[in-house]
Amino acid sequence: MLNVTRAELRKLRRPTLLYSTILVVMLLTGLFTTIIFLRIGSAHGPNRRGDMIDASILSQPQGLVYGFKIVAFFLGITALCVFASQTAQEYTLGTLRNLLVRQPARMKILAGKYLSMTIFAIVLVLADALVAIGVSFALAGHAKVSTSTWITSAALVLFGKTFVNVLLATMAYGTLGMILGLLFRSPISAIATGVIWSLILENILSAVVSSTSKWLPGQNFSNIAQGGAPEVSYHWSLILSLIYLTGAFAIVAILFKRRDVAN
């Protein structure tokens, strides 16, 4: 499995994939975080879920990770696309057949792929966190936000929890992408289905029938990144997401093991 992981990491290290993906994520994270701090104090300052965010709120320990948390959904969608494309393109390009010649154990290939993409997700989330926190410190003075509480033990503990939650949510979206990649065996179909469901259909369903929010996978993935909400608890989202992903992954793993390698 380790040999498969190293081989997959070699593909993920391609500059056109690794550098471009991280660069886009870093730029958007920096942009969103900058907008938040620059709009502090304006008549239409930043708000989230109907709550106005001002300097006093960002001066608390949560201000350290605020910019990091707001881009969690974008990180998840990015992971979904990468996981889906890297899984499905083995069928489209016909390279899965060559992999099975070197490693006939399909479950080892699947496990190695997942481990390598987990490492990729960790790097992605870490880069995002560094940019968000760096921009927050750089613009705190301009927004009249005090950073004294950002360097306390409480803030560091909060950062650790937030990092883990965002990483879990990112991996949940990524796992969904891998599931779709194995199911459809086409990068375009897998990515389109995942993005349309997460960005459009779930939002429509939750808006039309609010009671469905606690059952929708994407809504629960995002809730994990935010550390829970009054409407849906963190533990509910964590357990339900685990059930969804474990069940779906078990099904596509069986398909991966038994289906023909041709697309």
- Mean pLDDT (whole number) for 192-211: 91
85-94, 141-150, 168-177, range with greatest mean pLDDT:
168-177
Q: Who wins on pLDDT, 196 or 105?
A: 196
Task: Residue 75: name the closest of 150, 234, 255, 67 by CA.
Answer: 67
Q: Who wins on pLDDT, 260 or 165?
A: 165
Give CA–CA dist 239/237, Å, rounded: 6
pLDDT at 42 over 90: no
When pLDDT is cut at 50, 70 and 90, the band that residue 9 belongs to is confident
When pLDDT is cut at 50, 70 and 90, the band that residue 138 belongs to is very high
- Mean pLDDT (whole number) for 251-256: 93
- Mean pLDDT (whole number) for 80-101: 88
pLDDT in tens, 47-62: 555 456 778 888 999 9
Note if the pTM is more than 0.75: yes
pLDDT at 115 over 80: yes
Sequence-ordered list of residues with C-beta below 8 angstroms from that of 99, at least 6 positions apart, any chain: 4, 90, 109
pLDDT in tens, 155-201: 999 999 999 999 999 999 999 999 999 999 999 999 999 999 999 99
pLDDT score at 215: 94
